[in-house]
A and B are shown apart, each in its own frame.
Chain A
């Protein structure tokens, strides 16, 4: 094939794939701006006859979606802060501080990655019930404060910190706490951004655990509220698309802003095997 013909074919394929992939998301946005009932037609309309924010008004007004949005923001932020605290400290210690049993504990943690989280879910529910944490924000975030993957992510990055740097600080008389905050944390910043975005997105998008641990409607996160809403409003396509836009847009925007860091996390994760 001539290089020119090959280039045209290649780009035609790429464009077709990209349009096909983006189509559901673009159409979701378009339908969310249609007046009620317009999307239930054949052939399905591509663009609204006249764009309206009525669906969004109804979601925030009658359906009180603001409350769920608030819950999602609070829970995802809380989970992110906690995960940064617990995993950055442990990840650094596993990489750079010698202590008895370090290798054995770390190997045990890595081996435990093969256990699906759902195996722990039923007793975890009983444990949280016993602790009085069912139906609270804490019930959603506490079990995930520290995670094996988070520790691994930070550790792999912290391994690149030169030992001489830490030794020099010790010789200068700096305490371990001071070394962690003044030297280690600034160096770890890029991987902490990665960990933060992974945790935020993971908590925001999570479905099964909040579905189990939250039964009080006032505490629902957006995905739970959306799943309930979609069972009540089977025919209201425009309204449901608006709800989907509100759920997807924040995480999509966050990803686009911090893409580089997110991709790094995937690549570190993929060499763990």
Chain B
């Protein structure tokens, strides 16, 4: 069949690329994570030994790995709700019936999303500077003493979260805006005829209409935030006192600084399983809530 042949000619190049440069490495990662692949194996593959689940076992006993996991969990648990809140608030403001220049506001609020992470992280490092930073200057005006944002183990992660929310909230704002605009206007008309106030409209029309979008956006944002890497790499180098070492940062150092590729692959798989488990949990909780 002519069409059949043409179809294969068109999909094969792409499938080959994805197969060789994605599926194959993913499978290889699983195998490598069961070996002691290190600098010696890199030099001579005959030094490679199969060690079963030992990499996973060692990781689960390593305080440094648990610290990286806890740091990442902190970033996700605080960062995702804050980001979603900022996105939704921005979308509601831009979408308000009375709002003018909506397009201009939308573009401005979205701008940080397209900027280069490394470049704006450098900018924020300066904004957060203990002595010359604008943030501390602004806080000084309301009587707050200078905070050593990136040098104090208690403040480094909150500073990175603040930065991430600024960088990312515009993305979900766009998705929320589209969802808000698809809510039928007569729902609001009817509510107003019934004498509902703004809060009641939001609580009984807007929020329920956004439920599916909220779930999707929270899953995607959560998966993205678990992949924290460049922010600590540029802003804190994992410090102070390892307080901003994320799981991927840990994997990067394990793999490309110490060349423990077996152990680093195990880190990657544990992260993947964690994301998968939390996504499944989110779906399940939502389904149960919908059923109730």
Contacts and interface: CB of A to CB of B under 8 A. Distances in A.
A115 B21 CA distance: 13
A22 interface: yes
Interface in B126-157: 126-127, 129, 131-134, 137
Interface stretch (A47-55, A58-66, A186-194, A203-211): A203-211
A89 B10 contact: yes
Contacts, number: 266
Contacts of B269: 119
A185 interface: no
A205 to B, nearest CB: 5
Contacts of A42: 131-132, 137
B223 interface: yes
Interface string A102-123: 1001000100101110111111
Interface in A6-47: 6-7, 10-11, 13-14, 17-18, 21-25, 27-28, 31, 39-44
Contacts of A261: none
Contact of B116 (A120, A204, A212): A204
Nearest to A270: B175
A31 B126 contact: yes
Interface residues of B, number: 90
Interface in B237-265: 237, 248, 251-252, 255-256, 261, 264-265
Nearest to B2: A176
Nearest to B100: A11
Contact of A146 (B14, B114, B226): B14
Interface of A: 3, 6-7, 10-11, 13-14, 17-18, 21-25, 27-28, 31, 39-44, 86-87, 89-90, 92-94, 97-100, 102, 105, 109, 112, 114-116, 118-127, 142-148, 151, 176-177, 180, 201, 204-205, 207-208, 212, 222-224, 226-227, 230-231, 237, 240-241, 243-244, 247-248, 251-252, 255-256, 259, 262-263, 266-267, 270, 273
